[in-house]
Amino acid sequence: MSEHDDVSGSSPWTPSHDEWTALLDGEPKYRLDQLWRGLYQEQLEPEQISTLPKSLRHRIAEQFTPSLTLSARQAADNGKTIKWLWTLPDGPRIETVLMHYDRRSTVCVSSQAGCAMACGFCATGQAGYERHLSVGEILEQVVAAQRQATEDDSRLSNVVFMGMGEPMANYDKVVESVRRLITDVGIGARKITVSTVGLAPQMRRLADEGLQVGLALSLHAANDDLRTELVPVNKRHPIDELIDCCRHYKQSTGRRVSLEWAMIDGVNDRDSDADELAIVARRAHAHVNLIPLNPTPGWPTVGTPPDRIAAFARRLTDRGANATVRANRGTDIDAACGQLAGAAAGTNTGQQAVTLRPPRRPDKHST
């Protein structure tokens, strides 16, 4: 495997099918099928793939080690929401959240360790940027979620890039991960959503990739003054430019962009905010998702109460905008991005202690 030093030493989910084909050169072809099936259909680590000879398993495991080590795990909503805190080999911590719905599940993955976008209401933004995640580190989060979904008698059907980090800032790795999710993991393109706080050039690029993925724009404010305060990158890419990007995305992919709006009590939940948002949503040909804000230690605000969220949604629809109120999962487990990492690092005062559990190993395949 020496000629592939660029992928060795990394996650077993980093090499593509072609790369594994080259790495297993000299082995019978069915070994590749066994490895591929073990990694992607059974979600096993190479050492656990008992159909492979021990010597080959060990040879692979010497060069490819899973990147995610479990540091904490929390469950909420009667086990319907599960959040993991992972430590990467070089030290940074990232989070993944799995949400179960009626026999189907959605995983929210991180695309960076930390984030440089500095949104004031976001725990990850407050902690700062560490580094981009690799394709293997992104896929491994999905594989971990698939394992858990199977264990909970569910099926992982959706992947959203809404965890730690700004996915568009790690564009190449995120887009490659999306392609691999479709071809290797078997998640339909329309079941994948990539979010952004509004990196306009990358929004345009994504529109032209020929992918049918959903695009979610975290808008949170519909005038530039307030939005720049909440989401500093708005200074570089103001709302008018983002509206153009949304229209281009719809034109190019046939899919409406969704505008994410964290409802923040007394900040962006006034009648005037709804009126401005309705205009932006109509111009952008976009759908609005209203989400109650998860409280973030370090930012002195709370989410809008449910009755006011309902009234806000009604005001939007009365003004011709499409809007849905989303449930907020896992408020009691620090489910807003970056909060579990902050709690574990002791930066979020007043958070509950996190529960430490060993990583799950599928016993029947262990050797």
Q: Which residues bind ligand SF4 (CB under 6 A)?
A: 115, 117-119, 122, 124-125, 164-166, 197, 337
Helix-helix angle 200-207:171-180, to 10 degrees? 30
Straight-line distance from the first to the last Cα atom of the chain, in angstroms, rounded to the nearest whole number: 24
Tell me, yes or no, if 260 is annotated catalytic: no
Helix (H) / strand (E) containing 28: none
Contact 239, 227 (CB under 8 A): yes
Shorter beta-carbon distance to ligand SF4: residue 164 or 354: 164
Give catalytic status of residue 130 as yes or no. Answer: no
Q: Which of 108, 115, 245, 337 is catalytic?
A: 337
Residue owning tokens 């979020």: 348
Least spacing, CB of residue 121 vs ligand SF4, in Å: 7
- Beta carbon nearer to ligand SF4, 49 or 115: 115
CB 247, min distance to ligand SF4, A: 22
Torsion of Cα atoms, 238 then 163 then 14 then 209, to 10°: -30
CA–CA distance, 113 with 165 (Å, rounded to integer): 6
Instruction: For ligand SF4, give the closer residue by CB, 108 or 185.
Output: 108
For 243, the token pair is 């509206």
Shortest distance, position 92 Cβ to ligand SF4, whole Å:
14
DSSP 122: -
Q: Is 148 exposed, middle or buried (0-12, 13-18, 19+ CB in 10 A)?
A: buried
Q: Return d(Cα 13, Cα 139) in angstroms, integer.
A: 6
Give least dist CB 161 to ligand SF4, A: 10
Least distance CB 163 / ligand SF4 (angstroms)? 8
Closest-CB residue for ligand SF4? Answer: 125
- Residue 104: φ, ψ to 5°: -140, 155
Choose between 159 and 197: whose C-beta lies nearer to ligand SF4: 197
**Minimum distance from residue 233 beta carbon to ligand SF4 (Å):** 8
Cβ atoms of 340 and 85 within 8 Å: the answer is yes
In the bound state with ligand SF4, the residue whose beta carbon lies nearer, of 166 and 269, is 166
* Cα gap 356→72, rounded to integer Å: 5
Residue 52 or 122 having the CB closest to ligand SF4: 122
Cα–Cα dist 116/356, whole Å: 28
The one catalytic residue in 45, 47, 95, 260 is 95
Instruction: Tell me the catalytic residues.
Output: 95, 337
